[in-house]
Structure formats: structure tokens, C-alpha cells
Structure 1
Amino acid sequence: MSTAPEATQAPALQVERVSHRFGSRTALDDVSLAVPQGQFVALLGPNGAGKTTLFAVVTRLYANQDGTVAIFGHDLTREPSRALARLGVVFQARTLDTDLTVRQNLLYHAALHGIARRAAEARIAALLGRVGLLERRDDKIRTLSGGQSRRIEIARALIHAPDLLLLDEPTVGLDLEARADIVAIVRALVREEGLSVLWATHIFDEVEPQDRVVVLHKGRIVALGLAGALAEPSGSLETSFRQITAEAGRRQVA
């Protein structure tokens, strides 16, 4: 991961007053959040809250209609190449080519980033070792389990050594063991390599008390803070989340 001086001066991700609409429907409404360097931040919200739309804005799949996005201080509109070079993404939809091997998928992605073949081979071996799948490098994706495929997608997102990783509902559809494996891999990257992470989820047990949490509800940020503090009034993060979002819904109707 980069150790450039700028990395100590700005959040890994800074979203300021971002809004996005699809026709008359507002998907994001004045959203502001930050991911501090080297931290795991959970973006918590149900399906339809706007998490995927926010990720599309941060990755420039959608141009934000209002507000600004900066990655390590690089404005996404003014310096898109410099900003996106620091970013890796695991989208909710599965996008590996199932007819290719693990290695072929990763080599293709490395080539897109302009990584030379020898360097790419070394990087792939290191990443597959990190996610525990080095021995499957010559197997086709279709032979892997859902959890194994997700681990390959994480390796692919890290192929260009980004400093910030976005993961959109990365454990959806996985069993408990596979979910735990994915969470453990990503948390180890934060702890051991200083990776900054924005983890979008609606699964409460993926969030730990020390995590920073952003609660997104119907396109609006309705709560920010440490998970432990948010959970304290009710004794559980899930209960507090339901209370917070119910109150936000009543305010929107009023």
C-alpha cells in the first residue's frame, strides 16, 4: 500500500453533500461520509437504501449530480485517473468469467491496469496466497464455490495495490463459514496492511463494536458513529438500527 505523504493528510474517501436522482426519484439525498485511513467503515442499510448507487457514484459509473467525492484528496471529477488508481472495488454482482481459470481472470485484470506479465504473475501468486486459494489458480471459476469466487474477486480488486477497497454486500448468498472467511480476510488486510475499507452490508453480525458505522436509509444518512455507541441505547446494533430508521421514516412522512 502507498506510504505517500498525502495519505496522512486526507481521508481515504471523502463524500461531501452528494445527491443523485433517477428522473423524479431521489436515490441519494445530501450524503456526506468519510473513511479514515486504515480503518474499516461499515455502510449499513437495507436493500434499496442507496448503497449500490453510492458505490456507482464513487467509482464513476454514475456522475454525481451534486456534491463532491475525493479519494486520498484527489477530486474524482477533476482528477479521475489519480483518484481511481487508489481504489479497488468488489461489486455485489458476480463478474468473473466462469469459462476462464482463476489465473486467466486475474492476468486479464492485471493487463487492464498495465501491469507487466512477470510482475502480474508474482502479484497473483501473493494475492492467491493471501486469500488461501493459490492451489486453485489453474482451475476454472465455474468449479469454485460461491465463497471461493468471492475471495478471487477480492484478489482481483487488489491486483493494482489500491489503498482503498469498496465492497458492496460481499457476503450475500454465502453460508456462515464462507461469510466468516471473507470478513476475516478483509479485516486482516486492514490490520496488517493498513488498507482502508468501506463495507456495505445489511448483515449486523459483520459489524464489530469498534467499527465506524454509517447508517443509510432511503438515500439519506440517518446516523454516524461507532457501532458500540450506536448499539448502546438498546443493547444491540440491530435493534438500534431499526429504531433509528423507523424514526427517520416518521420524520420523512411528517
Structure 2
Amino acid sequence: MALESAPPGVDITRPSPARVYDYALGGSANYPVDRQAAEEVWRVAPETRQLARDSRGFLIRAVRFLADEAGIDQFLDIGAGLPTADNVHQVARRANPRAQVVYVDNDPTVRLHAEVLLDGDPNAVFLSGDVRRPEAIIERTRSLLDLDRPVALLLVAVLHFVAEDPRGIVDRLIAALPPGSHLVIAHTTSADMDPAFRERLARTYADAPAPLITRTPEEIEAAFRGRTPLPPGLVDVACWRTAQPRTPGPLRVLGGVARL
């Protein structure tokens, strides 16, 4: 059952990207304002409802690839969102039971749920933090992960809530990571987007703490700091390492993984 009342410190007067995402995935950690925001977008473009599932599927496949084929056992998941089935630590530990994960998010609802989910797990930790303050995140992460060994930096569905200099933020984060680390990005794109839909989308997220920002494929690829994403490159998230066909809709999410 979805939530109707909130604990102290949780703002339920404005939609939260994490809670809207949770609602799209069929979760219960959301409020009327989040459900209303999601339904507003779906009325215009019902096919966008599937994008949350596509993004989650991309995250799961990327983590599985990193833990299994790339041998990564440390994960820094920034903008982690609300806990749901197949979290990063669960997926990674199927390949390596000793995998360590640091989750970071600035939403107090996410923190409350993460504290329950991760209670008693010393190798899966939640930090309250904002991707727009990368140095603060890295400083707190140093005591939790070994930054002299490769780390997977996960920025899935978070940079499109960053208005200023997303590439600079990525640069500052990966500057602290050693060679052999990997960068994972998923981001909404404005490519082929109908102007009327873009305006409707902007209005829907106008009251959110962080409005949704779409960028061109070239702008998203630039966030990889000049490194070419591993095959199959920067593609629709539903198509990354799957044979699933994808019919472009009014809103697309591109994803890719690059080795640093």
C-alpha cells in the first residue's frame, strides 16, 4: 500500500524523483504528489512508464557485468533512489559475495528506507549526500571503500537532475578513482523529442526539488570524459547487452559503461 503520511523531515508537498521512480517500478514508498506527477507524464506518453523498468534493467545488467566479467567488487552508487528488488549489493554479490557497496542519495525518504534495508550489513552502507558536492562524497567514501583499487561509479538516472556542469562533476568524482575503475551513466536525452512533450515534461517537474533536464546524445557522451563506452556503446538502456528491440518514444534514456 502506498504511503499517505510522512515522517518528520520528509517533504510530501513536492514530487521526489526517487519516489516517482519507486511508483513507476510498482513500489509502495511514494505519496499522492509523486503519483500525480507520474500519472501526468503517462497521460501524455503512456509508453514512458516502461522507462523506469528499462533503467532498472540496465543498472542490473551493468552491475552483473562489472562484478562478473570485469571483476569489480567495490561500487559507489550515487543517486541510488529507493530500495527495490535486486539492489546493487544483491546483484553484485551473486558474482562476488564479498562485494562492497556505498549508496548515496540526498532524499530523506531514501535514507529512511535504506537504514532498514541495510541494517546489520557492514559491506553495504548508505550515505546522505548530493552528487553536486562530489568532494564531500569522496571524502566520506574513503573510509568505506579502498580507493586504491578499482571502483564502479554508478550514475544511473541522476545526472539529468543536475542543472550545472554535469561533466565537471563526473570529472571530479573519477579523479579520485584508480585506473581499472568503471563509470556507468544513464541519462534522458532530448534527441528526437517533440517540443510540446518537452514543455509538458518541464511543467510536470517544475515543482520538484530537482527538475528533469534532457540533453543531447553528444552532451551525455561528453560526460564520459572522452573515454569511449564499452560495447555496445551509448545506447537506449533497454538495448544495452540485450537483444530486446526498442521503438523510440517521446522520452528516451541512454546508457553506457566505460573503463577508466
**Alignment TM class, shorter chain as reference:** 0.3 to 0.5
Which has the larger strand fraction?
1
The TM-score with structure 1 as length reference comes to 0.35
Q: Bigger radius of gyration, 1 or 2? A: 1
Higher-RCO chain (CA-CA 8 Å, sequence separation at least 6) = 1
The TM-score with structure 2 as length reference comes to 0.35
